[in-house]
């Protein structure tokens, strides 16, 4: 909600409204429903408290807003009363806390004993444990429970091993809410030589492929011949991808390639659909990366070698929405020595980039026509 012009800057107002919206308000009916649900959970009291622990501050707010302390005093809510007592007095043990404690003490035996209780979480922390305790001991212990790990996790381990054991690499992770976060390399990588890190990668690849082969060899198949398209050997697998976005568009995997019908690519940004007519300034721009320099095509530089911008649009029509485009001439950029084209969108007015804004690219075999209306 910030704006370069002070009279249009509503960031302070938005902060007050946002703080007010964060206040939790529940009716008596909703409070009783949650109280009954917690009271009837089949899990043990300690287990419930342990699962509430990662979001402890959130649960403290929920308990107060839902008046659960009041319901815990009523007849028939004995388990709810016990849960609140254990939760507030913190008389429960957290599994992850015990794992972290024994790891800090370099107690491999107790750490691995706990991790074997949850094979999937063992798989998630396999790389970091290899750096902490060594590859041989870690993989020997993990092998005992690897049969209980889903196939998806084995493929993830095989896919990300080269990125994880690279000192310079930064991993890009997409959260459940759709936002991306950049995670720096593990600081313990600096303790190992390049040969040792390469050995870690080889160990993981050999181990995962061996386990996958073992599972397939034990599965029963009929005596049928099938044809495997050679393209399938190079297709990227959507492993652990949270790309089911809010829009009804097919997600694109990192590294995926597409055949082109022409020599041009059209970058686009459309926004404002189903919104009333208003000032909503969104800008599409792209950077052309050369060997030793960079050029930018945006609202202030509409035409340059290999790129042409459709023009700056600052307002949207009623319920229809609008769009900006950039035509990229691949042949011209290749002749000029262009390496990459990176495109971005920015908001220069009130509001934020909402789900009804879509940024993407399309084949551009037909000449771009811009309507003045």
DSSP secondary structure code for residue 308 in this structure: E
Average pLDDT over residues 81-109: 91
Local confidence band at 7 (pLDDT 50, 70, 90 cut-offs): low
For the chain, the average pLDDT equals: 83
CA 184 distance to own-chain centroid: 15
| pLDDT > 90 fraction of the chain, expressed in percent and rounded | 36
Host H or E run for residue 12: helix 11-21
Contact in structure between 350 and 1 (CB atoms under 8 Å)? yes
Q: Which span out of 101-110, 276-285, 309-318 was modeled with the highest average pLDDT?
A: 101-110
| pLDDT > 70 fraction of the chain, expressed in percent and rounded | 85
pLDDT of residue 248: 45
pLDDT of residue 246: 42
Contacts by 126-132, CB closer than 8 A, 24 or more apart? 126/157, 126/204, 127/157, 127/161, 127/164, 127/165, 127/186, 127/200, 127/204, 128/186, 128/188, 129/103, 130/200, 130/203, 131/186, 131/188, 131/189, 131/191, 131/192, 132/103, 132/106, 132/188
List, for residues 216-268, the tens digit of each pLDDT value: 888 777 767 788 888 887 776 666 555 444 444 455 655 667 777 778 888 99
| Residue scoring higher pLDDT (152 or 14) | 152
Query: Number of C-alpha atoms within 13 angstroms, CB side, residue 102?
Result: 16
pLDDT of residue 352: 53
Local confidence band at 353 (pLDDT 50, 70, 90 cut-offs): low
List, for residues 56-79, the tens digit of each pLDDT value: 988 998 999 999 999 999 999 999
- Helices 135-143 and 126-133 meet at what angle, rounded to 10? 130
Question: What is the distance between the alpha carbons of residues 10 and 350, in angstroms, rounded to a whole number?
Answer: 8
Using DSSP bridges, classify how beta strands 307-309 and 315-316 pair: parallel, antiparallel or unpaired.
unpaired
In the chain, where are the structural domains located? 14-89, 103-218, 264-363
- Of 342, 254, 343, whose CA–CA distance to 290 is shortest? 342
pLDDT at position 367 over 60: yes
pLDDT of residue 282: 87
Average pLDDT over residues 336-352: 81
DSSP secondary structure code for residue 276 in this structure: P
pLDDT at position 110 over 90: yes
């Amino acid at each position: 909600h910030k704006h370069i012009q002070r009279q249009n800057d509503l960031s302070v107002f938005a902060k007050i409204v946002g703080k007010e919206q964060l206040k939790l308000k529940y009716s008596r009916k909703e409070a009783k429903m949650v109280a009954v649900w917690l009271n009837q959970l089949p899990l043990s009291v300690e287990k419930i408290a342990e699962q509430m622990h990662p979001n402890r501050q959130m649960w403290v707010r929920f308990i107060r807003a839902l008046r659960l302390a009041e319901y815990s005093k009523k007849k028939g809510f004995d388990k709810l009363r016990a849960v609140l007592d254990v939760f507030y007095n913190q008389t429960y043990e957290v599994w992850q806390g015990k794992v972290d404690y024994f790891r800090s003490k370099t107690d491999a035996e107790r750490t691995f004993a706990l991790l074997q209780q949850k094979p999937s979480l063992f798989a998630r922390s396999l790389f970091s444990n290899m750096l902490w305790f060594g590859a041989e001991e870690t993989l020997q212990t993990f092998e005992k429970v690897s049969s209980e790990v889903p196939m998806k996790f084995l493929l993830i381990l095989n896919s990300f091993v080269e990125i994880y054991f690279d000192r310079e690499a930064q991993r890009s992770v997409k959260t459940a809410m759709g936002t991306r976060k950049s995670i720096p390399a593990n600081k313990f990588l600096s303790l190992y030589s390049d040969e040792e890190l390469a050995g870690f990668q080889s160990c993981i690849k050999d181990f995962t492929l061996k386990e996958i082969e073992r599972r397939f060899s034990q599965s029963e198949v009929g005596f049928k011949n099938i044809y495997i398209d050679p393209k399938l050997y190079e297709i990227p697998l959507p492993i652990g991808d949270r790309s089911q976005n809010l829009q009804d568009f097919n997600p694109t995997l990192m590294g995926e390639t597409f055949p082109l019908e022409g020599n041009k690519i059209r970058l686009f940004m459309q926004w404002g659909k189903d919104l009333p007519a208003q000032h909503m300034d969104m800008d599409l721009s792209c950077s052309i990366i050369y060997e030793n320099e960079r050029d930018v095509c945006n609202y202030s530089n509409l035409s340059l070698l290999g790129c042409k911008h459709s023009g700056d649009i600052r307002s949207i029509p009623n319920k229809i929405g609008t769009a900006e485009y950039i035509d990229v001439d691949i042949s011209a950029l290749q002749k000029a020595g262009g390496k990459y084209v990176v495109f971005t969108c920015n908001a220069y007015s009130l509001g934020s980039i909402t789900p009804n804004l879509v940024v993407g690219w399309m084949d551009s075999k037909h000449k771009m026509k811009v309507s003045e209306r």
